[in-house]
Structure 1
Amino acid sequence: MTMVGQEKYGVEAYSYKYDDGSNLFTVLDAYDDEYGGIVVNPEKLPFDATLFASILCSSITTWRTKGKKGIWLKLPLDKCDFVPVAIKEGFRYHHAESEYVMMTYWIPNEPCMLPANASHQVGVGGFVVNENNEVLVVQEKHCASELVGLWKLPTGFILESEEIFTGAVREVKEETGIDTEFLEVLTFRHAHNVAFEKSDLFFICMLRPVSNEIKIDDLEIQSAKWMALTEFIEQPLIQGDNMFKKIIDVCIARIGERYRGLSVHKVVSKFDNRLSSLYYNVVDDQRPDSSCDSCLL
């Protein structure tokens, strides 16, 4: 079999031709992943769904012959008419974002080993206490009926490629206008089947305020203020909920130096040579400041 690179029908592909000159066909532009699979180049897809159907079929045949395993097919919005074509060939949905849908195909006749879609969403809450022993609290414009009137900690979701500690600082700033400095992760909650059958990780972070003037985000926040810690704790909704009460107990213990949370440290691992954030507790009195130090595992 001879392989010749070519540009055809607006798509970069490979032409495979047997030595006798028969069975000429094209294969979608793609590259091998590190697990013996194929990742199709979404920028070099055919323009026409009929042509895509033909090339996709021949591509699967070729990749099967070459012993490939999983196929990752990313279809942008402007290629939405390719979705039913891929489903007809045996592809399945993996996940979707605002600009694309990712589909997969497992070639071997054995259990699929492709990793599943992300199973968790990650949220953060900021516990901010000033020098007057007042806690920064908000009332949300949109909330469950049972939470109407509750003064709560500023909370939100982590953005893509965002650190837990920077996400907590950002959410507090967005909701209240208060600038803060990350100190520790005090505790976190792990819950399941929260939204669209996804699990939820929620991190409570202790932050030090570095400004005092409140300026709320009036799109999602009804009101925000500095509230006396004792008044905050005594709210019926706090006292009547085991989860809320335990979280506040931990926060108060940290203020009283009866508890230590997890500081963040920047660490590089030899396994992937990537800089990561490692959260751990320092047990001696030489406690590092909140800035991230670097080390090597």
Structure 2
Amino acid sequence: MAAHTAICQWSFGQHFNQETRRISCNRDGNALELFRSSSWKHIISSKTQCVKQCTSPMPFLGTRNVPKKGGIHALLPNTMSPSMPAELLDSWDDDYNGVVVDSASLPSSANAFASALRASLSSWKLKEKKGIWLKLFQEQSDLVPIAIQEGFDYHHAEPGYIMLTYWIPDEPCTIPSSPSHQIGIAGFVINDNREILVVKEKCSCSCVGVWKLPTGYINKSEEIFSGAIREVKEETGIDTTFLEMVAFRHVHRVAFEKSDLLFVCMLKPLSSEITIDEKEIQDAKWITPEELLGQQFYSEDEMSRKLIEICMATYENCYNGYTAHQLISKFDGKLSVLYYYNNNLNMI
């Protein structure tokens, strides 16, 4: 009987493996459709008959995950035994009675992930946890629909990953919203000849053809003052040093419904020869304040005009902006920059 069982299992395995290879080689095929095909039914039927005839002590465990093109796994019927409890996802608690799932240790199988996620949610609910954070990397994208089906919501995305959240209590959600602002800078550079560094951008926006201050966006983990220095250097080739932050503008519902903060920084030029970035800048030059504000654009744009007037008042020592001071906060123990008006007083 044992020998007969072994022969029967080997015969089925040969047939099963051949059919699996045929499916994996069919680049345009659909794994789920092939699963429903008569060929697959023949395999399952053969296996059932084999089990009946051989009375093998090995139970039939059901279907397995069949890889699709691109490494995505089809979610097939659950293969876990009812007597075998699902494993919980590896995670740790955050500071707000929430949970952060360990993305690096997630199951690679869609079925295993679904089972572990359901079991973990039940466990977290019993422990009265609140917000659940689930970060899925690009190579784990086939797990996203499973998490959404279990009640997770999109929070934010960055190159390489997507963050999902789940709020457990039956009360208003206190999970912080996704990043809501983009941070921009404008560099006001004026030389000893009372000339302002200005550029004309290559764009189809409302300021096309207008001489304006160099502007740009802050990079990730970049200080505001160093971002201003970098942007001026990239667009005009002029080296500068930071003096003061003279003003900032706050506007809402700009790109992709995000709010926008623009910090205006006064910079001292360390060089004078202009070399433009031809990919972004049409032209750049040194210009007098009168010529800059004499453009029709500034007579029609009250905010832009006011910014230039504030910068000129700072240059003429009629206005004081905020200087940058590096301090350590006890909240995180990190060195950070605090901008404030010192006025040569020992305030701290």
TM tier, shorter chain?
0.7 to 0.9
The one of 32, 44, 53 equivalent to 2:93 is 32
Distance 2:301 2:326 in 1: 36
Is residue 284 of structure 2 the alignment partner of residue 224 of structure 1? Answer: yes
Match of 2:273 in 1: 213
The one of 119, 127, 130 equivalent to 2:180 is 119
Q: Which has the larger radius of gyration?
A: 2
Q: CA RMSD in A?
A: 1.7
- The one-letter code matched in structure 1 to 2:143 is F
- The one-letter code matched in structure 2 to 1:184 is E
Is residue 299 of structure 2 the alignment partner of residue 239 of structure 1? Answer: yes
Match of 1:184 in 2: 244
Match of 2:117 in 1: 56
The one of 194, 197, 214 equivalent to 1:133 is 194
- The one-letter code matched in structure 2 to 1:255 is Y
Scaled by the length of structure 1, the TM-score of the pair is 0.86
Match of 2:15 in 1: none
Contact 2:86–2:115 at 8 Å: present in 1 too?
Answer: no
Q: Secondary structure at the match of 2:336?
A: strand
Distance 1:157 1:27 in 2: 42
- Report deviation, 1:23: 6.2
Indicate the larger mover: 111-120 or 181-190: 111-120
Is residue 140 of structure 2 the alignment partner of residue 79 of structure 1? Answer: yes
Distance 1:26 1:213 in 2: 65
- The one-letter code matched in structure 1 to 2:139 is D
Match of 2:255 in 1: 195
Distance 2:110 2:219 in 1: 34
Match of 1:10 in 2: none
Distance 1:94 1:271 in 2: 25
Higher helix share: 2
Is residue 91 of structure 2 the alignment partner of residue 91 of structure 1? Answer: no
Unaligned runs of 5+ in 1: 1-21, 288-294
The one of 58, 68, 82 equivalent to 2:129 is 68
Distance 1:260 1:278 in 2: 16
Q: Secondary structure at the match of 1:111?
A: coil
Between the two proteins, the alignment pairs up a number of residues equal to 266
Distance 1:261 1:24 in 2: 63
Distance 1:121 1:140 in 2: 20
Q: Secondary structure at the match of 2:331?
A: coil
- The one-letter code matched in structure 2 to 1:205 is C
Distance 1:107 1:77 in 2: 26
The one of 314, 323, 335 equivalent to 1:275 is 335
Match of 2:108 in 1: 47
- The one-letter code matched in structure 2 to 1:208 is K
Indicate the larger mover: 179-188 or 230-239: 230-239
- Report deviation, 1:227: 1.5
- Report deviation, 1:223: 1.0
The one of 227, 231, 240 equivalent to 1:171 is 231
- Report deviation, 1:50: 2.1
Taking only the aligned residue pairs, the percentage that are identical comes to: 54
- The one-letter code matched in structure 2 to 1:104 is T
- Report deviation, 1:61: 0.8
Distance 2:174 2:86 in 1: 29
Match of 2:4 in 1: none
Distance 1:46 1:257 in 2: 63
CA shift digits 1:20-70 (9 cap, x unpaired): xx6632111111111111111111111122221111111111111222211
Match of 1:107 in 2: 168
The list of structure 1 runs, each at least 4 consecutive aligned residues, that deviate by more than 3 angstroms after superposition, is: none
Is residue 316 of structure 2 the alignment partner of residue 256 of structure 1? Answer: yes
Match of 1:14 in 2: none
Q: Secondary structure at the match of 2:88?
A: strand
- The one-letter code matched in structure 2 to 1:259 is Y
Q: Secondary structure at the match of 2:320?
A: coil
Indicate the larger mover: 125-134 or 227-236: 227-236
- Report deviation, 1:118: 1.3
Q: Secondary structure at the match of 2:254?
A: strand
Unaligned runs of 5+ in 2: 1-82
- The one-letter code matched in structure 2 to 1:218 is E
